[in-house]
């Protein structure tokens, strides 16, 4: 069968207040087109469907219409898991109806899927807790679901008392117990794989800063023919032997972000996974930072920027910008999302101040600080007391 791995849709995302829904509608339409032209049988959505736990009606509408179009009239099976941005109960709400269209949404580790009557060529023949079995002619595949679940929500007895990563691995093993030798196996998971590469600071994924604590070693996950990961926004293969891939987000989330796309692959029980291919998305708007030194330079550069680029414009100059200039620029160039100003004079003053301060003794620094805050010079006794305290700390060290 042919599979499409997509992750981190972040529907309802705003960038510096700019709504991205129009762009996201185009991206979702492109996913449907890819499925049709590439004859995809199974779609894997690896979490972070929405940007917020309480998505707007428009964002929810876009999600529901997209998965309905992806599934077609039982043309394809759509598998969805919750990411850390999604509210589990909210995302799960449509599951009873969705399953009738061969759309399986897993938001908690206790979810038991059911099979409904099948009419299409791609059929769901078996389902249970955290897995489904798909059949197309002689080709059989088992999909295991491992949604993002916060530490406190992992209740099952065998995992109680374990550290976070071991709990995730224990759940993954329970799901992986359904993988069979004579079926292609695929694990769909939203997690932070240890040693995965993040792009820039990736400020949108707070977990990364906690690092090792919340990360999982991919080699501890059950053996599968393919591991479809979500959570990290940069496309990459994290572990070649396990065929563990992040497809990356399908929208640029930060300025100067990495190339966005989806992963297409094929596989059968006999051949294993083959033809893994990163497919760039055409409808994604680039997010770009521009630095200029004058209004004239800004106008000149912006004239050559494509209409769909989203720009953070920074002025580095000596004088502030007038509000009429800012208004004029924003009206003329819709690409501008935000305008920043870095005053050269302030930069110079700051660096002069710092080098001046470096030459002062701690008593002089204290005197200057006191005078600035209180408006009067400190009494000599106070300065002496401060000096004595400073000596004390020097001894202690």
Residue with Cβ nearer Mn ion (54 or 360)? 54
Tell which residue, 129, 148, 135, has the closest CA to residue 102. Answer: 135
CA 220 to chain centre: 23
Are 236 and 196 in contact, with CB atoms under 8 Å apart?
A: yes
Smallest gap from Cβ 204 to Mn ion, in A, equals 6
Q: Using the rule CB under 5 A, give the single segment among 45-53, 119-127, 132-140, 335-343 that binds Mn ion.
A: 45-53
Smallest gap from Cβ 232 to Mn ion, in A, equals 8
Coil/strand/helix, residue 121: coil
Smallest gap from Cβ 279 to Mn ion, in A, equals 19
The reply to whether 48 sits near Mn ion by the rule CB under 5 A is: yes
By rule CB under 5 A, what count of residues binds Mn ion?
Answer: 2
CA of 133: how far to CAs of 129, 139, 144, 171, 182, in Å?
A: 12, 11, 9, 18, 12
Are 183 and 140 in contact, with CB atoms under 8 Å apart?
A: yes
Residue with Cβ nearer Mn ion (23 or 225)? 23
Smallest gap from Cβ 24 to Mn ion, in A, equals 14
Where would I find the H helices in the chain?
21-37, 57-71, 88-92, 95-99, 164-176, 207-210, 295-302, 323-332, 344-358, 362-374, 380-396
* CA–CA gap between residue 95 and residue 104 (Å, rounded): 7
Are 143 and 113 in contact, with CB atoms under 8 Å apart?
A: no
Tell which residue, 327, 338, 333, has the closest CA to residue 302. Answer: 333
Smallest gap from Cβ 283 to Mn ion, in A, equals 19
Residue with Cβ nearer Mn ion (208 or 317)? 208
Smallest gap from Cβ 41 to Mn ion, in A, equals 26
The reply to whether 86 sits near Mn ion by the rule CB under 5 A is: no
Smallest gap from Cβ 83 to Mn ion, in A, equals 6
Smallest gap from Cβ 302 to Mn ion, in A, equals 30
Q: Which residue number has the CB closest to Mn ion?
A: 48
Tell which residue, 255, 202, 230, 283, has the closest CA to residue 21. Answer: 283
Q: Using the rule CB under 5 A, give the single segment among 42-50, 73-81, 96-104, 273-281 that binds Mn ion.
A: 42-50
Q: Using the rule CB under 5 A, give the single segment among 5-13, 129-137, 173-181, 273-281 that binds Mn ion.
A: 5-13
Residue with Cβ nearer Mn ion (47 or 378)? 47
Smallest gap from Cβ 10 to Mn ion, in A, equals 6
Smallest gap from Cβ 141 to Mn ion, in A, equals 26
Residue with Cβ nearer Mn ion (48 or 312)? 48
Residue with Cβ nearer Mn ion (8 or 165)? 8
CA of 215: how far to CAs of 8, 306, 339, in Å?
A: 18, 39, 36
CA 271 to chain centre: 32
Residue with Cβ nearer Mn ion (12 or 267)? 12
Coil/strand/helix, residue 40: coil
* CA–CA gap between residue 159 and residue 379 (Å, rounded): 64
Residue with Cβ nearer Mn ion (8 or 257)? 8
The reply to whether 225 sits near Mn ion by the rule CB under 5 A is: no
Residue with Cβ nearer Mn ion (102 or 107)? 107
The reply to whether 8 sits near Mn ion by the rule CB under 5 A is: yes
Are 60 and 167 in contact, with CB atoms under 8 Å apart?
A: no
Residue with Cβ nearer Mn ion (71 or 193)? 193
Q: Using the rule CB under 5 A, give the single segment among 8-16, 35-43, 69-77, 344-352 that binds Mn ion.
A: 8-16
How, if at all, do strands 139-146 and 184-190 pair? Answer: parallel
Are 193 and 215 in contact, with CB atoms under 8 Å apart?
A: yes
Which residues are near Mn ion by CB under 5 A?
8, 48
């Amino acid at each position: 069968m042919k599979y499409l791995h997509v992750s981190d849709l972040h529907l309802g995302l705003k960038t510096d207040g700019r709504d991205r829904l129009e762009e996201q509608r185009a991206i979702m339409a492109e996913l449907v087109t890819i499925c049709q032209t590439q004859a995809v049988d199974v779609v894997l959505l690896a979490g972070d469907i929405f940007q917020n736990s309480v998505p707007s009606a428009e964002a929810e509408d876009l999600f529901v219409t997209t998965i309905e179009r992806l599934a077609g009239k039982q043309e394809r099976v759509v598998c969805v898991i919750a990411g850390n941005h999604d509210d589990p109960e909210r995302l799960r709400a449509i599951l009873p109806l969705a399953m009738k269209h061969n759309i399986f949404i897993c938001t908690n580790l206790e979810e038991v899927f059911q099979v409904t009557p099948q009419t299409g060529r791609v059929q769901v023949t078996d389902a249970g807790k955290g897995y489904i079995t798909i059949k197309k002619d002689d080709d059989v595949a088992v999909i295991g679901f491992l949604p993002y679940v916060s530490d406190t929500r992992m209740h099952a007895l065998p995992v109680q008392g374990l550290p976070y990563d071991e709990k995730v691995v224990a759940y993954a093993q329970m799901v992986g117990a359904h993988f069979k030798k004579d079926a292609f196996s695929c694990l769909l998971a939203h997690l932070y794989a240890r040693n995965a590469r993040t792009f820039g600071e990736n400020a949108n994924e707070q977990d990364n800063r906690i690092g090792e604590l919340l990360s999982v070693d991919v080699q501890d996950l059950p053996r599968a023919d393919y591991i479809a990961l979500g959570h990290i926004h940069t496309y990459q293969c994290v572990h070649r032997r396990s065929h563990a891939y992040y497809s990356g987000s399908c929208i640029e989330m930060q300025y100067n972000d990495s190339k966005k796309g989806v992963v297409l692959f094929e596989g059968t029980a006999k051949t294993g996974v083959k033809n893994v291919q990163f497919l760039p998305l055409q409808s994604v708007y680039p997010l770009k930072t521009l630095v200029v030194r004058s209004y004239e330079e800004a106008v000149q550069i912006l004239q050559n920027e494509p209409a769909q680029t989203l720009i953070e414009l920074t002025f580095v100059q000596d004088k502030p910008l007038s509000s009429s200039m800012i208004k004029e620029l924003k009206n003329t160039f819709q690409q501008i999302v935000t305008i920043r100003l870095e005053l050269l004079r302030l930069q110079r003053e700051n660096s002069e101040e710092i080098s001046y301060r470096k030459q002062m003794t701690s008593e002089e620094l204290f005197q200057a600080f006191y005078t600035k805050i209180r408006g009067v010079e400190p009494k000599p006794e106070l300065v002496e007391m401060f000096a004595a305290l400073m000596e004390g700390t020097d001894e202690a060290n």
